[in-house]
Amino acid sequence: MTAAERFPHRLTLVTGHYGTGKTEFSVNLALALAREGGPVALADLDIVNPYFRSRERRELLEAAGVRLIATSQALADADVPALPAELHAVLEDRTVRGVLDIGGDPSGARVLARYRPRIVREDYQLLYIVNAARPEVRTAERSVEVLRAIEAVTGLACTGLVNNTHLCGETTAGDIRQGAALAEEVSRRTNIPVRCHIAEARFQDQLRDLPLFPIHIQMKKPWE
C-alpha cells in the first residue's frame, strides 16, 4: 500500500504526547508522498520543543521536492508563538498535500485552534501518535486522556491512531507489538481506528501481519 493510499486526505495533522515520534513520522510521510509524485509541503508547527524539529532536515526535504514551512531562521532556536504566514498557502491550495508537524501535548497542539475554521473546510485527518515506550502515556487511560485534551484544545476530532513505539536503536519487534496492543486498546476505548504501525524497514519481515508504514530514521539526537 502506498503512502497516499494509507493516508488519503490532503492534509495530515500529526499530534501526540511530547517525545512520541511525531516529527520522525511527519518527515518520513512527507518524503514518501513526494516520492509518489505531486506537490508536498511539510509545516513545522512545533513551538514547544527545541529539539527534533522538521526544519533540521530542510536540505533533505527540499532535495526530495518537499516544501518546508517553518518559522524564520532567526527564530529557529526560539520557543515563541511565531507561526509562518506561508501556512495559509498550504491550507488554501488544494493541489498541495500538506503534513503538519504539531508540538506535543495540548500546549503544543493549541496552535491548531487558530486555524480550525480553515482546516474544517478541507479534506483533513488528525492523527494521534501512540508510543508505549513513553512513561507518561504507556497506559491506555493516560493516552486517551492526552488525546481528549488535544481534541478539546484544538476543537478538532482525532480520526486515526498511529503506533510509533520504539526504543531508538534498541527497538525490537516485540516492542512494536507491545505498542500495537496499546494502540488497539486506545482504539477500543475511543472508537478511533488504528491506521498503521511505524517500524524501521528492517522489521518488515518480522511484522508482516501488521499494517506497517516502514521508515528510515531521519531525526538524529543533538549529540549525534
Q: How far, in Å, CA of 147 to CA of 35, rounded?
A: 31
What is the phi-psi region of residue 125: left when phi exceeds 0, alpha when psi lies from -120 to 50, beta otherwise?
A: beta
pLDDT tens for the chain, residues 1 to 224? 899 999 999 999 999 998 899 999 999 999 999 999 989 999 998 766 655 677 778 889 999 999 999 865 444 444 445 567 788 888 999 999 999 999 888 888 988 998 999 999 999 999 999 999 999 999 999 999 999 999 999 999 999 999 999 988 899 999 999 999 999 999 999 999 999 999 999 999 999 999 999 999 888 654 44
Letter string b/e over residues 14-27, b meaning 16 or more CB atoms within 10 A of that residue's CB? bbbbbbbbbbbbbb
pTM: 0.91
Phi, psi of 127 (to 5 degrees): -100, 140
Cα–Cα distances (Å) from 125 to 12, 39, 128, 178, in that order, read 5, 18, 10, 25
End-to-end C-alpha distance for the chain, whole angstroms: 33
Structural contact between residues 19 and 104, judged by C-beta atoms closer than 8 angstroms: yes
Q: Which amino acid is at 21?
A: G
Query: Which cell goes with 12?
Result: 495530515
3-state secondary structure of 70: coil
Of 40, 38, 93, nearest in space to 62 by CA: 40
pLDDT digits (tens, 9 = 90+) for 35-52: 999 899 999 987 666 556
Query: Which cell goes with 46?
Result: 512545533
Q: What is the pLDDT of residue 223?
A: 42
